[in-house]
Amino acid sequence: MTDSIPGQAAATGQRPGKRERLVAAATQLLHQHGIERTTLADIAQAADVPAGNVYYYFKTKDEVIAAVIEAHVQQIKTTLAFIDAHHRSPRSRLKAFVREFTAQSEIVAQHGCPLGGLCSEIGKRVRQSSFAEADLMRLPIAWAEQQFRSLGRRDAHDLAVDLLAAYEGSALLASTLQDPGLLSSAARRINRWIDTL
């Protein structure tokens, strides 16, 4: 087993490798505490990895952030592939996508959307970003656009942007107001909207 294959350790019942544990810990800490308040030492401690070993895998916090973005990208791709494989119609795929919105409503209400929050934080950094954080939004938009196009919609791109904007706005409100129910309500409204298309 190599440290860089996500999910392999879980599938075999073995403890994840150090790099995998560091990325998982960083993903959680960046979501809960943000980029500026999370240190490499915090990540090492949460991953149960000696602090000095972090530098074997990541020389800087920016390298950790890039690895977290890549982990999110891979998770998005996995989720979308799962939806594609288990739902026949574009409408049912879109609704399954919406269900993903509410799957972690408690966590989102506590800490915000892990993807939207990370993108927002990176966008506020003083130096120019070299991260691929926009992929965290582009991937689901492109996928949703394909679904809307399959429904015969000429405005598929606009509808896909509206779909993601509806979720991100609801996630922001749920976090600000500490109300996970807002995500459930938003999901119901989005599903009714999908039915009208």
User: How many helices and strands in the chain, by DSSP H and E?
Assistant: 11, 0
The residues of the chain scoring below 50 in pLDDT are: 1-10
CB 53 within 8 A of CB 40: no
Q: In this structure, are 109 and 171 located in the same domain?
A: yes
Q: Is the pTM of this model over 0.75?
A: yes
CA distance 20 to 28: 12
Q: Which amino acid is at 165?
A: A
CB 47 within 8 A of CB 24: yes
- Which residue range(s) make up the domain with 8? 1-59
Shortest CA distance to 119 belongs to which of 138, 144, 136?
A: 136
The predicted pLDDT at position 20 comes to 96
Q: In this structure, are 90 and 52 located in the same domain?
A: no
CA distance 115 to 117: 5
The predicted pLDDT at position 7 comes to 43
**pLDDT tens for residues 149-177?**
999 999 999 999 999 999 999 999 999 99
The predicted pLDDT at position 1 comes to 26
* Domain CATH number, residue 135: 1.10.357.10
> 88: which DSSP letter?
-
The predicted pLDDT at position 81 comes to 98
> 2: which DSSP letter?
-
Alpha-carbon distances of 3 from 6, 63, 80, 152, rounded to whole Å: 8, 16, 24, 44
* Domain CATH number, residue 32: 1.10.10.60
The predicted pLDDT at position 66 comes to 94
The predicted pLDDT at position 14 comes to 77
Token reading at 155 = 């405005």
